[in-house]
């Protein structure tokens, strides 16, 4: 297997489940040192074991990304042991229930904005000094179909995910002449815990597993995509084509 990420240090949020875990695992297999963030320590340990099984290294950090007052402490804990941060993938997400905006409680609404919009931006901000120490760091925001589709009932989640399309462009516009790059990727629907919560009536077997989508994120983290900057991307456009696609 190729080792595109040897000597690279990459932080993945939401690494204790679903897409984040799949990305972390595949990065580990390709030689990256992974910094895995999530809240549930036991679930992070599962990610670490899977990374170590494929020969990679993983530092697990149990951390609630909505605890913004703790971001400074997180940075202080890492700044001396992490020489550079070559990638930051924002995968953490949590959608409890779809509902019309008219009925959504203020706490539910602001909670959705906190984890899906405020957290990825503030984490990028606090990790910025480590990202600038890398040769050409890649930051990825994860959005969803609401980035282009005007669907009902996604309240703070849908609003935050649509705003993330602008986040990548805004960060890039503020750093036009550095090699650092910022992109937003829509993974599309995947067979994960979040999918089962959001679409209880849909058969999960009809959508791909996260491991099939993760290679799109690895492509944007790798040197192969150095010229892709400030873009809104669809994972399906970044994945290798199968013979069926070409027909």
Name the residues that contact ligand NAP, by CB under 6 A.
Answer: 13-14, 16-20, 38-40, 43, 64-66, 91-94, 115, 142, 144, 187, 189-190, 192-195, 210
101 vs 173, beta carbon nearer ligand NAP: 101
20 vs 28, beta carbon nearer ligand NAP: 20
66 vs 225, beta carbon nearer ligand NAP: 66
Indicate the residue whose CB is closest to ligand NAP: 18
19 vs 216, beta carbon nearer ligand NAP: 19
Phi and psi, residue 191, nearest 5°: -80, 85
List residues bridging with 12 in a β-sheet.
36, 89
∠ CA 241-90-86 to the nearest 5 degrees? Answer: 85
28 vs 38, beta carbon nearer ligand NAP: 38
169 vs 211, beta carbon nearer ligand NAP: 211
Angle, helices 155-174 vs 106-113, to 10°: value is: 30
Phi and psi, residue 104, nearest 5°: -80, 130
Contact 1, 9 (CB under 8 A): no
Angle, helices 210-221 vs 18-29, to 10°: value is: 60
User: Measured from the CB of residue 183, what is the shortest distance to ligand NAP in angstroms?
Assistant: 14
User: Measured from the CB of residue 82, what is the shortest distance to ligand NAP in angstroms?
Assistant: 19
Q: How far is CA 95 from the centre of its chain?
A: 15
Contact 23, 13 (CB under 8 A): no
Contact 197, 178 (CB under 8 A): no
User: Measured from the CB of residue 17, what is the shortest distance to ligand NAP in angstroms?
Assistant: 3
User: Measured from the CB of residue 78, what is the shortest distance to ligand NAP in angstroms?
Assistant: 16
CA atoms within 13 Å, Cβ hemisphere of 159: 13
Q: Which helix (H) or strand (E) holds 99?
A: none
User: Measured from the CB of residue 168, what is the shortest distance to ligand NAP in angstroms?
Assistant: 14
């Amino acid at each position: 297997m190729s080792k595109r990420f040897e000597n690279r240090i990459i932080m993945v949020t939401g690494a204790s489940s679903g897409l984040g875990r799949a990305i972390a695992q595949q990065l580990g297999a390709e030689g990256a040192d992974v910094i895995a963030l999530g809240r549930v320590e036991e679930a992070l340990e599962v990610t670490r074991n899977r990374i170590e099984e494929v020969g990679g290294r993983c530092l697990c950090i149990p951390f609630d990304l909505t605890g913004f007052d703790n971001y400074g402490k997180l940075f202080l804990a890492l700044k001396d042991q992490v020489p550079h941060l070559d990638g930051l993938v924002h995968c953490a997400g949590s959608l409890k229930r779809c509902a019309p905006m008219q009925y959504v409680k203020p706490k539910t609404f602001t909670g959705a904005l906190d984890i899906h919009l405020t957290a990825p931006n503030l984490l990028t901000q606090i990790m910025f000094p480590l990202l600038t120490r890398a040769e050409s760091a890649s930051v990825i925001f994860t959005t969803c179909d609401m980035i282009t589709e005007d669907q009902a009932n996604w309240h703070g989640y849908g609003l935050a995910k649509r705003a993330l399309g602008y986040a990548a462009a805004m960060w890039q516009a503020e750093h036009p002449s550095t090699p650092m790059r910022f992109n937003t990727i829509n993974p599309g629907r995947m067979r994960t815990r979040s999918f089962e919560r959001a679409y209880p009536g849909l058969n999960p077997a009809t959508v791909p597993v996260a491991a099939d989508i993760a290679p799109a994120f690895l492509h944007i983290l790798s040197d192969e995509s150095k010229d892709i900057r400030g873009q809104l991307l669809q994972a399906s456009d970044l994945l290798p084509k199968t013979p069926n696609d070409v027909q």
